[in-house]
Amino acid sequence: MALGITVVICTYNGSLLLPETIRHIAQQRVSPRIQWEVIVVDNASTDNTNEIALQEWGKHTNATPFYVVKEPHQGITFARETGVRMASYDFILFCDDDNWLNSDYVALSYSIMLNNSSIGVLGGHGKLVYEVPPPSWVYKMSLFGNGPQAKQTGKVPRNLVYGAGCVIRKSAYLEIYEYGFKPMLIGREGKNLTSGEDYEICYSIALLGYDIWYDERLKFKHFMPKARLTWDYHIRFFRDGAGSYEVLIPYQFILNYRCKNLFQFNVRIIRVVLSSIKTLLKLSLKQTPLDSESDSNKINNLRIVAVKAKLQSFERYQEMKQNFKTILNLKKEVTLITTITHADHKNYKTSFPNMEVAN
């Protein structure tokens, strides 16, 4: 595959968000020596996302190739898979439709990936900006992709970065599929707030031995519409997000805690459950019903919701155990078969599905 960088914007009904996001991409300062392109993946939108994307790009004097691709199967994992397969270049920058990239983001991402062949996924530093002033407790309970992802630039010990503004190496992404990888998380589907699909990408690529990397120089703004600043949204975020634990916890145990068999898996499960119960008891003792509107009490209540959701995920133990076996077998397959170095990749072939492209 060609050397360069593809910006992929996955969006569902993003007509209101896309103009500002596209404007920031059109204003990127990229050397003529760097090949790049922009692909908007319209993920089963019911609004005029296609037209708005093309109209907005047309307002700018940027000759970079720009495409709108339709993905009818709703779910951000499907949209990202489409973006990856359509991408012409090995470095793929996932820019969410509410991410406003600094003007050097594309060029800097390209340089970092080009000069560090061990990086499989690269994350940046997001800063939240709000459509309206949020309640004070929102500032203290930041849930979304923002802030530093490690103490300093370099490899992230926990093997994950948030999906907003992240860059993946396409050859690594395709390589893990060659070993039989099938994503178990599809991400947000319409109004459903399920998540974790970006972490699954990181974990799966880490299985190949690639580094998951953070660079503090990669700056972007993460726009927060007022609909995300409500109490009900935060409750849904925790409850829906807990649906990813049965997949992410097995990855975490294998990669970060070196679990190699079911016995070690079960010991780790017991530890996590006991620790979560202990945390829940501490949080419950801090509740102050007479002062239920205070920031501290609201944050405490949200943490209780989060811990309860995590504990409920362990009720799906059988599914979690099966996922552990699947991921462990994948890791063993990778370890057994991989004979190439990450500095000297072969060309991985991929089939491009028939898709409708607007241009």
71 backbone dihedrals φ, ψ, rounded to 5°: -120, 105
Length of the chain: 359
In a domain, 42, yes or no: yes
331 and 259 co-located in one domain: yes
Q: What DSSP line would sit under 300-349, residue for residue?
A: HHHHHHHHHHHHHHGGGHHHHHHHHHHHHHHHHHHHHH--S-TTS-----
Q: What gap in Å lies between CA 359 and CA 354, rounded to an integer? A: 15
- The tally of domains found in the chain comes to 2
From the CB of residue 180, how many other CB atoms can be counted at a distance below 10 Å?
A: 11
- Dihedral angle, C-alpha 222, 116, 88, 1, nearest 10 °: -160
Lowest model confidence (mean pLDDT) among 83-87, 292-296, 326-330, 332-336: 292-296
| Position 346 in a domain | no
Task: Please indicate, yes or no, if residue 347 is contained in any of the structural domains.
Answer: no
Q: How confident is the model at residue 94 (pLDDT cuts 50, 70, 90)?
A: very high
- Answer yes or no: is pLDDT of 20 > 90: yes
Please give the mean pLDDT across all residues of the chain.
Answer: 89
pLDDT band of residue 296 (cuts 50, 70, 90) is: confident
Confidence check: pLDDT of 294 > 70: yes
Q: Which domain holds residue 274?
A: 250-337
Confidence of residue 298 (pLDDT cuts 50, 70, 90): confident
Backbone torsions φ then ψ of 144, nearest 5 degrees: -100, 170
**pLDDT tens digit sequence for 71-89:** 999 888 999 999 999 999 9
In a domain, 239, yes or no: no
The sign of the CA dihedral 347, 350, 351, 354 is negative
Q: Do 220 and 89 share a structural domain? A: yes
pLDDT digits 0-9 by tens, 190-228:
566 678 899 999 999 999 999 999 999 999 999 999 988
Q: pTM score > 0.85 for this model? A: yes
Picking from 17, 43, 11, the residue whose alpha carbon sits closest to that of residue 223 is 17
| Angle between helix 262-286 and helix 317-337 axes, rounded to 10 deg | 130
pLDDT (mean) for 297-302 = 88
pLDDT, position 285: 87
215 and 307 belong to one structural domain: no
* Segment 128-187, tens digit of pLDDT: 999 999 988 888 777 778 889 999 999 999 999 999 999 999 999 999 999 989 999 977
127 with 184, same domain: the answer is: yes
